[in-house]
Amino acid sequence: MTEGQLPAWRLRHACTCLRRGGIIAYPTEGVWGLGCDPRNEGAVRRLLAIKQRSWRKGLILIGASITQVQSWAAPLSPAEVALLQQSWPGPITFILPVPKQHPRWLSGQHAQQAFRVSAHPLVRALSLAFGDLIVSTSANLSGRPAARTALQVRRQLRRRVDLLLPGALGGLRGATPIRVLASGAVVR
């Protein structure tokens, strides 16, 4: 087992937790994340309640490939795919257009959705094992600093998280930057 990887049994356990509507905490590029199955509205609403975060803000969907993102986003032009391929996999989140039927519990009050194809080995392994994108938001109560250690996750969120996956953060010192793909505008 190399650094950042989890044993197969632990990945299966995390995927089972996600499929049952559970909330997991896991290390990402720069902060600890909270995740759930984006197709499960009840799980997403529970995650938002744990964070004390308004649904209106929207969430990030994180995965292991552009193909996973394309199954959720509105059709992308070859030029847009090429632009994404320059940054992904990597520690940058892009806001992309989504189809009209895209779940509002994910995009919030926005007509677009934030996506990231991560280079973090644990996130990639989790997404591949789950077979889809997962919700990814910082592991903290709204308005508080994002957790940078498993201990900080435990202290802030106590027993509200169903599973905490062990591992190390990537090389960032904070949350990933967010950009609008169409304009290049920096949101965060």
Share of the chain above pLDDT 70, in %: 98
Pinpoint the alpha helices (H) of 119-172.
Answer: 121-130, 150-157
Round to whole Å and give the CA distance between 170 and 177. Answer: 14
Round to whole Å and give the CA distance between 156 and 32. Answer: 12
First to last CA, the chain: 34
Stated pTM of the model: 0.94
**pLDDT, tens digit, for every residue of 136-171?**
999 999 999 999 999 999 999 978 999 999 999 998
Domain boundaries, the chain: 8-180
From residue 36, give the alpha-carbon distance in Å to each of 48, 75, 81, 110, 181.
Answer: 10, 24, 26, 20, 25
Q: Cis link prior to 89 (omega < 30° from 0)?
A: yes
Cβ contacts of 83 within 8 Å, gap of 6 or more: 181
Q: Residue 184: pLDDT band by 50, 70, 90 thresholds? A: confident
What is the CATH code of the structural domain delimited by 8-180? Answer: 3.90.870.10
Q: Would you say residue 3 has pLDDT above 50?
A: no
